Amino acid sequence: MSVTPGEADAALGEIEARIARRPGAGSLGEVCEYLRRTFPHYRWVGIYRLNGAMLDLSAWNGPAATEHTRIPIGSGICGRAAREDRTVIVDDVRVAPEYLACFRETRSEIVVPIHRDGRVLGEIDIDGNEVGAFDGTDRAFLERVAEWLTGPLSSEASGRGPHG
Protein backbone atom coordinates (compact mmCIF):
# COMPACT_ATOMS: atom_id res chain seq x y z
CA MET A 1 0.00 0.00 0.00
CA SER A 2 2.99 2.32 -0.21
CA VAL A 3 3.74 4.92 -2.86
CA THR A 4 5.92 3.67 -5.73
CA PRO A 5 8.63 5.93 -7.20
CA GLY A 6 6.68 6.26 -10.47
CA GLU A 7 3.49 7.20 -8.61
CA ALA A 8 5.43 9.70 -6.52
CA ASP A 9 6.93 11.44 -9.56
CA ALA A 10 3.57 11.66 -11.33
CA ALA A 11 1.85 12.92 -8.18
CA LEU A 12 4.50 15.56 -7.53
CA GLY A 13 4.06 16.83 -11.09
CA GLU A 14 0.30 17.07 -10.55
CA ILE A 15 0.72 18.83 -7.20
CA GLU A 16 3.14 21.32 -8.76
CA ALA A 17 0.61 22.00 -11.53
CA ARG A 18 -2.24 22.51 -9.06
CA ILE A 19 -0.20 24.97 -7.02
CA ALA A 20 0.83 26.84 -10.18
CA ARG A 21 -2.81 27.07 -11.34
CA ARG A 22 -4.02 28.30 -7.98
CA PRO A 23 -1.10 29.91 -6.14
CA GLY A 24 -1.47 30.65 -2.48
CA ALA A 25 -3.48 28.99 0.25
CA GLY A 26 -6.35 28.18 -2.12
CA SER A 27 -4.37 25.24 -3.47
CA LEU A 28 -4.16 23.49 -0.08
CA GLY A 29 -7.64 21.96 -0.32
CA GLU A 30 -6.94 20.79 -3.86
CA VAL A 31 -3.75 19.07 -2.71
CA CYS A 32 -5.62 17.33 0.14
CA GLU A 33 -8.32 16.13 -2.27
CA TYR A 34 -5.76 14.94 -4.83
CA LEU A 35 -3.70 12.99 -2.29
CA ARG A 36 -6.74 11.26 -0.84
CA ARG A 37 -8.20 10.39 -4.23
CA THR A 38 -4.88 9.18 -5.68
CA PHE A 39 -3.66 7.08 -2.76
CA PRO A 40 -6.46 4.91 -1.31
CA HIS A 41 -4.57 4.22 1.91
CA TYR A 42 -4.70 7.98 2.66
CA ARG A 43 -8.19 7.93 4.25
CA TRP A 44 -8.11 11.45 5.72
CA VAL A 45 -5.69 14.20 4.66
CA GLY A 46 -5.30 17.49 6.45
CA ILE A 47 -2.91 20.43 6.32
CA TYR A 48 -2.34 22.40 9.51
CA ARG A 49 -0.71 25.84 9.76
CA LEU A 50 1.39 26.70 12.81
CA ASN A 51 0.00 29.82 14.46
CA GLY A 52 2.04 30.63 17.57
CA ALA A 53 1.78 27.57 19.82
CA MET A 54 -1.25 26.16 17.96
CA LEU A 55 -1.76 24.14 14.81
CA ASP A 56 -4.79 25.43 12.90
CA LEU A 57 -6.49 23.23 10.31
CA SER A 58 -6.22 25.04 6.95
CA ALA A 59 -7.59 22.38 4.59
CA TRP A 60 -8.73 18.77 4.69
CA ASN A 61 -10.34 16.00 2.67
CA GLY A 62 -11.93 12.87 4.02
CA PRO A 63 -15.21 11.17 4.80
CA ALA A 64 -15.88 13.50 7.78
CA ALA A 65 -14.57 16.61 9.48
CA THR A 66 -12.32 16.31 12.51
CA GLU A 67 -13.09 17.93 15.82
CA HIS A 68 -9.39 18.74 16.14
CA THR A 69 -9.26 21.98 14.15
CA ARG A 70 -6.83 23.55 16.66
CA ILE A 71 -4.09 21.47 18.26
CA PRO A 72 -1.57 22.82 20.80
CA ILE A 73 1.98 21.89 19.80
CA GLY A 74 2.23 20.15 23.17
CA SER A 75 -0.53 17.67 22.27
CA GLY A 76 -0.91 14.58 20.14
CA ILE A 77 1.10 13.16 17.28
CA CYS A 78 0.62 16.39 15.31
CA GLY A 79 1.97 18.43 18.20
CA ARG A 80 5.01 16.16 18.53
CA ALA A 81 5.84 16.40 14.79
CA ALA A 82 5.71 20.21 14.94
CA ARG A 83 7.57 20.43 18.24
CA GLU A 84 10.36 18.08 17.11
CA ASP A 85 10.31 19.23 13.45
CA ARG A 86 10.40 15.65 12.19
CA THR A 87 8.12 13.21 10.44
CA VAL A 88 6.27 10.89 12.81
CA ILE A 89 4.76 7.57 11.71
CA VAL A 90 2.49 5.70 14.13
CA ASP A 91 1.78 2.15 12.99
CA ASP A 92 -1.09 1.60 15.44
CA VAL A 93 -2.71 4.64 17.05
CA ARG A 94 -4.54 2.43 19.54
CA VAL A 95 -1.28 1.81 21.38
CA ALA A 96 -0.04 5.44 21.14
CA PRO A 97 -1.09 7.21 24.36
CA GLU A 98 -0.57 10.68 22.86
CA TYR A 99 -2.86 10.06 19.87
CA LEU A 100 -5.82 12.47 19.69
CA ALA A 101 -8.64 10.24 18.45
CA CYS A 102 -10.65 11.63 15.55
CA PHE A 103 -12.26 8.65 13.85
CA ARG A 104 -13.05 5.20 15.22
CA GLU A 105 -11.73 3.49 12.07
CA THR A 106 -8.31 5.22 12.11
CA ARG A 107 -5.52 2.78 12.89
CA SER A 108 -2.36 4.56 11.70
CA GLU A 109 -1.08 8.09 11.16
CA ILE A 110 1.76 9.92 9.45
CA VAL A 111 2.52 13.58 10.18
CA VAL A 112 5.07 15.47 8.08
CA PRO A 113 6.28 18.96 9.01
CA ILE A 114 6.28 21.70 6.40
CA HIS A 115 9.21 24.02 7.03
CA ARG A 116 11.09 26.87 5.44
CA ASP A 117 14.32 28.58 6.49
CA GLY A 118 14.65 26.39 9.58
CA ARG A 119 11.19 27.04 11.00
CA VAL A 120 8.04 24.93 10.98
CA LEU A 121 5.18 26.52 9.04
CA GLY A 122 2.72 23.66 9.44
CA GLU A 123 2.28 20.01 8.61
CA ILE A 124 0.56 17.35 6.56
CA ASP A 125 -1.50 14.94 8.68
CA ILE A 126 -2.74 11.68 7.12
CA ASP A 127 -4.80 8.92 8.72
CA GLY A 128 -4.98 5.33 7.52
CA ASN A 129 -7.56 2.67 8.32
CA GLU A 130 -5.05 -0.21 8.48
CA VAL A 131 -2.32 -0.90 11.01
CA GLY A 132 1.04 -0.06 9.43
CA ALA A 133 -0.49 1.80 6.48
CA PHE A 134 2.56 4.06 6.06
CA ASP A 135 6.22 3.30 5.46
CA GLY A 136 9.45 4.93 4.35
CA THR A 137 8.21 5.43 0.79
CA ASP A 138 5.22 7.41 2.09
CA ARG A 139 7.60 9.41 4.30
CA ALA A 140 9.94 10.26 1.41
CA PHE A 141 7.06 11.15 -0.89
CA LEU A 142 5.23 13.31 1.64
CA GLU A 143 8.42 15.10 2.65
CA ARG A 144 8.77 16.10 -1.02
CA VAL A 145 5.10 17.20 -1.07
CA ALA A 146 5.81 19.31 2.04
CA GLU A 147 8.53 21.16 0.12
CA TRP A 148 5.95 22.17 -2.50
CA LEU A 149 3.54 23.36 0.21
CA THR A 150 5.88 25.91 1.76
CA GLY A 151 4.75 28.59 -0.74
CA PRO A 152 0.99 28.15 -0.29
CA LEU A 153 1.32 27.82 3.48
CA SER A 154 3.56 30.91 3.64
CA SER A 155 1.02 32.96 1.69
CA GLU A 156 -1.73 31.91 4.09
CA ALA A 157 0.37 32.73 7.13
CA SER A 158 1.26 36.15 5.75
CA GLY A 159 -2.37 37.00 5.07
CA ARG A 160 -2.08 36.92 1.28
CA GLY A 161 -4.29 33.83 0.96
CA PRO A 162 -8.06 33.64 0.97
CA HIS A 163 -8.19 33.42 4.77
CA GLY A 164 -6.15 36.60 5.28
Along the 164 residues of the chain, how does pLDDT read in single tens digits?
688 888 999 999 999 999 988 877 889 999 999 999 999 999 999 999 999 999 999 999 999 888 888 999 989 999 999 999 999 999 998 888 787 777 788 899 999 999 998 899 999 999 999 999 999 999 999 999 999 999 888 765 443 332 22
Do the domain assignments include residue 99? yes
Do the domain assignments include residue 26? yes
CA 45, 15, 113, 92 torsion: positive or negative? positive
Do the domain assignments include residue 132? yes
pLDDT of residue 163: 28
Instruction: Work out the number of other CB atoms within 10 angstroms of the CB of residue 97.
Output: 5
Do the domain assignments include residue 162? no
pLDDT of residue 164: 28
CA angle 105, 141, 75 (to 5 degrees): 50
Do the domain assignments include residue 50? yes
> Could you give the C-alpha distances from 60 to 6, 9, 35, in angstroms and in order?
25, 22, 10
- Which stretch of DSSP H or E encloses residue 142? helix 136-157
Q: How far apart are CA 42 and CA 32, in angstroms?
A: 10
Parent domain of 56: 5-157
Do the domain assignments include residue 95? yes
In 3D, which of 100, 110, 95, 90 has the Cα closest to residue 43? 110
Do the domain assignments include residue 105? yes
> Rg of the Cα trace of the chain?
14
pLDDT of residue 25: 80
| Domain count along the chain | 1
Looking up residue 9, the CATH number of its domain turns out to be 3.30.450.40
Contact 103, 44 (CB under 8 A): yes
Do the domain assignments include residue 163? no
pLDDT of residue 156: 58
In 3D, which of 156, 157, 164 has the Cα closest to residue 27? 156
pLDDT of residue 4: 85
